[in-house]
Amino acid sequence: MKICFVVLAHHQPQVFQKLIRNISTREVDVVVHIDSAASIEPFRYSASNVHYMARRRRVRWASWSLTEVIIEGLAIALNFSDANYFIYLAGTDFPIRPNAELMDLLRDSHGQNFLNYYPLVPGIWGHALVARYRLNEIKSRFIDLRRPNDVSAPAWRRLGGTLVSKIETTLNARCMPRNTRFTNLYSGSSRWCLNRETIEYIVDFYRSSESRKLRRYLWSCANSDEIFVQTAVLNSPLKNQCIGFDEAAAQDIFAGRQPPMPDEKRVYLHYIDWDPAREDPAVMVERDLSMMRQSRKYFACKFLDSQSLPVINMIESELLSG
């Protein structure tokens, strides 16, 4: 059994260094992309099984560029590694169980995929991600989409963001409704663990003319990184390799015979705290250690240099040392 991690990072270099050190064990390869907006020096980690993508891109939050870089990373990973499984991680993730235990899980899973999903239909929150025009790929070149009203941004950037927002408003007023029924659209967490056959299919599908309509559509949507993979896989024969996927129920939801799912089907290997009273998601600190341990998950997120180094030290000594 061999694993290849694909890791995208743009900040938190101290967390990143500890992440790579703990996952780059025997029978593991790691492919890394460091955002071009960040200095690569704090992120350098020298090991024969860690490969840095030479082509560094500016990855823009909630935009199509994130999906592009993930697929590029997967294509490189297929050439770099002979892994049986591929796992996507952000640079702010961290393991909470040893790689040996993860290997045992995947060996016992007999090639099954760990892929969260839910059908994107009216009546569920995520449908707005695809039902309306979202020009995030353009808008994010001017403003921070997570802080759209930041008055400290230069005036020309705020003006550019305003103009793109007006174009969005016009498109949504005059070109609605968008046709979301050209395929069965699925969404779900981007924290997945997929077998080699599935990764090969995703890369081939992305490069093919068959995916052109989906790619063009998602370019003007939000959070495409949480839509493209699920939609590609769950509309293919590889859906039968996905743990927990209920195709009959999904088809009933798309046909309106069943209501939308109340939440995504969660089979991922991550512990994430979505407590609305905390950050979105919660930043892991010392008081989260017991919940991480009890979760029996293999990874957790998110971890920040400014808050999470003490709990990372505890994880290393108490959860990973065995």
CATH architecture of structural domain 3-122+185-318: Alpha-Beta Complex (3.90)
Q: By percentage, how much of the chain surpasses pLDDT 70? A: 99
Question: Residue ranges of the alpha helices (H) in the chain?
Answer: 13-23, 64-80, 99-109, 127-131, 136-139, 155-174, 196-207, 212-219, 228-234, 247-254, 289-295, 309-318
Token pair of 195 as six digits: 């077998």
Q: Where are the domains of the chain?
A: 3-122+185-318, 133-174
Per-residue confidence band for 103, with pLDDT thresholds at 50, 70 and 90 = very high
The 10s digit of each residue's pLDDT in 235-265 is 999 999 999 999 999 999 999 999 999 999 9
The 10s digit of each residue's pLDDT in 272-294 is 999 999 999 999 999 999 999 99
The pLDDT assigned to 322 comes to 62
C-alpha torsion 312→17→59→279, nearest 10: 10
